[in-house]
Amino acid sequence: MTLLSTRPKSKPKSVFQDSSLQTIIASHENVGRQKQKALSLACLAIGALAGGLGLRLVNLQLLNGQQWRERADANRIRLIARQPERGRVLDAKGRELIGSKLSHSVFLWPAAKSNPQEWDATLKYLSKIIKKPTSKLKERLGILAPASIDRIRVGRNLTPAQVTAIEEAGPILRGVEVDAETTRVYPHGQAAAHILGYTGEISEDEYQRLRGNDYKRGDVNGKLGIEASLEHLLRGQRGGKTVEVDAAGKVVQVIGEKASRMGKELQLTIDIELQKEVEKVLGKRKGAIVVMNPNNGEVLAMASWPTFDPNMFSKERITQKEWDALQKLPHPFVNRAVQAFPPASTFKIVTTAAAIESGKWPADTVLQTFPSLTFGGTRFGEWNHAGFGPLGFAGALMHSSDTFFYQIAGRIHGDTFTEWMHKFGVGERTGVALPDEAAGLLPQAKWKQKEFGEEWLLGDSINMSIGQGFVTASPLQIAAMFAVPANGGYRVRPHILKNKQHREYRKPMNLRPETLKVIREGLRAVVTRTTGEALDVSYLPSVSGKSGTSEDLGDGSDTWFAAYAPTAKPEIVVTAFAERSGGSGGKVGGPMVRDVMAAYFRLKHQAPKKPIARR
């Protein structure tokens, strides 16, 4: 018989006491902790990202929302431009010099047709209405890219019948638009044409240069005169249709209209009545006349011939007859009032001032004059081939003695002479608001070496002392020079834009009283005793001035006369210039200045053709 043992069995091991199991469990716990840490880091990253996105949304929508909305609109919304009306221009008394009239123009709008070939029938139909070859219309359309939302003008100044015909054509002329726009009007025709200028459609070269300033092909801009130089003031701000486009740039819908802003209205110093009188005096004499207030630099009139009528450029096209007539004239678009020529003996007032102010020649200097003088082996003659005997500065100006000033130039030769020419504005643009103003030439040693590879000689200074040789100046610059003795020693800056603040146009030259005295005495004696006697008439107040006659280069001499009046208290300075007129400054220019002054004082006193009492 087998007995069962009653010894108790050993206690089973705990699973937690098994080393392999503990290792596994520990490993799982570590993995869990790592996952929890990774999850926490992920949550932090997501939170940071969400916070960043939130901040970005706040920045985009709240802080800079307007800016981004504007950018989005700029990509979505386009302006089909319409040119603004240019600003009016008035004369010194408020009379209109340049205005505008409303007319109808016809435009092509490439964006209206998705297929460029659709234009063929349209242009053929339009050609019959506006009497313009289809080839010309295609050429104009080709200026813009296919499907461009800009428009291009193909006809101006449409008749009412043409406007009606286009509007009645309806779908046949889809993409053809008639729009009202203004064209320039110059109510006084040729008067002041070189000052005012004209307008025209910009060329391709101009477009490439101006496109950054919001110019488009087909725009009209100023071409000459203040129309060009003051374009930024006269132009105005464009308006037009605002349209919505899709991603491909096609027009989805017309949103509305943006009003244009008219250009600025400008007032000039020009008196149009005086301007017309001055142009009558100049007549068909190639040259220029400038009338200026010597006290503040206001240009009262400025005439140049040959000239033109700016209204011809406001039409659809210039006729062949008009163009042929212009071609027969010698450079009709050149404003000779601001172009430079040898100033001849009018320049002797600058030489006089330079001599006395240099300290090398006292104001009471007296020099013997001669039939001729020789310097460096070169003979320089007196204009009368005889000389005038002993003369002081005033007498030398009165007789316009060349040999007197040759001797003067011999001692102020060099930097001193150059310094005083610079002070009188020689070789510098006056700053008048005209785009084609020439600076003239103040010749110096460096300039001659560069241009001719030669040294500056004493003979160059001698020629320059009498306004010959290399030195050149414009009629406007000569007027500014004569304003100095007229106003008591101030250099004024000529200007044509009306401004009540004149101090910026006037600065003292700091001339010695004796310098002004001898210049003024000499200029007065010219009128009472020598070449200016044409101005010594009973119907003018006392006049002071100086004639000038350049060398005859084979096709006639240039002639000058510059003067101011009344002598005691000048209010007007006049410079007359005749290009290759022949004769002398006193006989050609003197009567022109006389007649201009007569017109000025007659208009001032509002008593036509009534003699003015002498003062």
At 316 the pLDDT is 75
pLDDT of residue 252: 64
Residue 257: the pLDDT is: 75
Q: Is 274-307+333-605 in the same CATH topology as 78-267?
A: no
What was the pLDDT predicted at 494? 96
Query: What's the confidence (pLDDT) of residue 31?
Result: 53
pTM confidence score: 0.83
Considering only residues 113 and 87, tell me which one the structure prediction assigns the higher pLDDT: 87
Please name the residues in contact with 129: beta carbons below 8 A apart, sequence gap of 6 or more. 162, 165, 166, 169
Q: What is the mean pLDDT of residues 109-113?
A: 84
Residue 250 CA from chain centroid, whole number: 39
- Whether the per-residue pLDDT at 472 is higher than 60: the answer is yes
CATH of 78-267, one of 3.90.1310.10, 3.30.70.1140, 3.30.930.10, 3.40.50.880: 3.90.1310.10
CA–CA distance, 466 with 461 (Å, rounded to integer)? 9
**400 near 547, Cβ under 8 Å?**
yes
Q: What is the mean pLDDT of residues 512-525?
A: 98
Q: Considering only CA atoms, which of 193, 158, 188 is closest in space to residue 176?
A: 158
Query: Cα torsion for 439, 436, 274, 472, to the nearest 10°?
Result: 30
Report, in angstroms and rounded to the nearest whole number, the Rg of the chain calculated over CA atoms: 40
pLDDT over threshold 70, residue 374:
yes
Confidence of residue 463 (pLDDT cuts 50, 70, 90): very high
For residue 337, which amino acid is it? A
- pLDDT digits 0-9 by tens, 260-303: 899 999 999 999 999 999 999 999 999 999 999 999 999 999 99
pLDDT tens by residue, 216-249 = 888 899 999 999 999 999 999 887 767 676 655 4
Closest CA to 499 of 571, 568, 431, 440: 431
Quote the pLDDT of residue 307. 97
- The yes-or-no verdict on residue 35 having pLDDT over 70 is no
CA distance 432 to 494: 6
Q: Percent of the chain beyond pLDDT 70? A: 83
Whether 366 has a pLDDT exceeding 70, the answer reads yes
The reported pLDDT for the residue numbered 78 is: 64
Q: What are the residue boundaries of the structural domains of the chain, listed by start?
A: 78-267, 274-307+333-605
d(CA 435, CA 433): 7
Say if residue 368's pLDDT is above 50: yes
Beta strands in 111-209 (DSSP E): 152-155, 176-185, 199-201
Looking at residue 454, what is its pLDDT? 95
Q: How far is CA 32 from the centre of its chain?
A: 82
Residue 166 in this model has a pLDDT that exceeds 80: yes
Checking if the pLDDT of 54 tops 50, the result is: yes
Query: Does 347 have pLDDT greater than 50?
Result: yes
Taking only the tens place, the pLDDT of each residue in 303-329 is: 999 999 999 998 877 888 888 899 999
Per-range mean pLDDT, top range of 57-61, 107-111, 316-320, 507-511: 507-511
Largest CA distance in the chain: 183
Query: How are beta strands 89-90 and 77-82 bridged, if at all?
Result: unpaired
564 SS3 class: strand
Cis omega (within 30 of 0) on the bond before 294?
no
d(CA 490, CA 502): 12
For residues 577 and 317, the model is more confident at 577
Choose between 609 and 265: higher pLDDT: 265
Confidence at residue 21, expressed as pLDDT on a 0 to 100 scale = 45
CB 388 within 8 A of CB 399: yes
Please tell me which residue, 29 or 203, carries the higher pLDDT value.
203
Q: Are 519 and 485 in contact (CB under 8 A)?
A: yes
- What is residue 20's three-state secondary structure? helix
| Most confident listed range (27-41, 76-90, 194-208, 509-523) | 509-523
Least confident of 108-117, 193-202, 229-238, 464-473: 108-117
**Cβ distance 279 to 121 under 8 Å?**
no
Give the closest residue to 339 by CA, choosing from 275, 293, 288, 294.
288
What tens digit of pLDDT does each residue of 397-413 get?
Answer: 999 999 999 999 988 87
What per-residue confidence (pLDDT) applies to 9? 44
pLDDT on residue 76: 62
Local confidence band at 146 (pLDDT 50, 70, 90 cut-offs)? confident
pLDDT top residue among 290 and 151? 290
Residue 433: phi, psi to the nearest 5?
A: -80, 60
* Per-residue confidence (pLDDT) for residue 501, from 0 to 100: 62
Q: Determine how many CB atoms are found less than 10 A away from the CB of residue 368.
A: 12
pLDDT at position 259 is 79
* The pLDDT of residue 485: 98
Q: How many CA atoms lie within 13 A of 104 on its CB side?
A: 15
Give the span between the Cα atoms of 166 and 173, in whole angstroms.
Answer: 7
Residue 39: which pLDDT band, with cuts at 50, 70 and 90? low
pLDDT value of residue 461: 93
CA dist., res. 388 & res. 404, Å (int) = 9
pLDDT score at 5? 41
Q: Average pLDDT in the 506-534 region?
A: 97
pLDDT digits (tens, 9 = 90+) for 420-458: 999 999 999 999 999 999 999 999 999 999 999 999 999
Ranking 27-41, 344-358, 368-382 by mean pLDDT, the lowest is 27-41
Q: What span, in angstroms and rounded, lies between the C-alpha atoms of 330 and 283?
A: 15
pLDDT band of residue 612 (cuts 50, 70, 90) is: very low
Q: Residues 381-386: contacts with CB within 8 Å, 24+ apart?
A: 383/549
**Cβ-based neighbours of 518, under 8 Å, separated by 6 or more:** 352, 356, 363, 392, 393, 394, 397
- Look at the domain 274-307+333-605 and name its fold: Beta-lactamase (3.40.710)
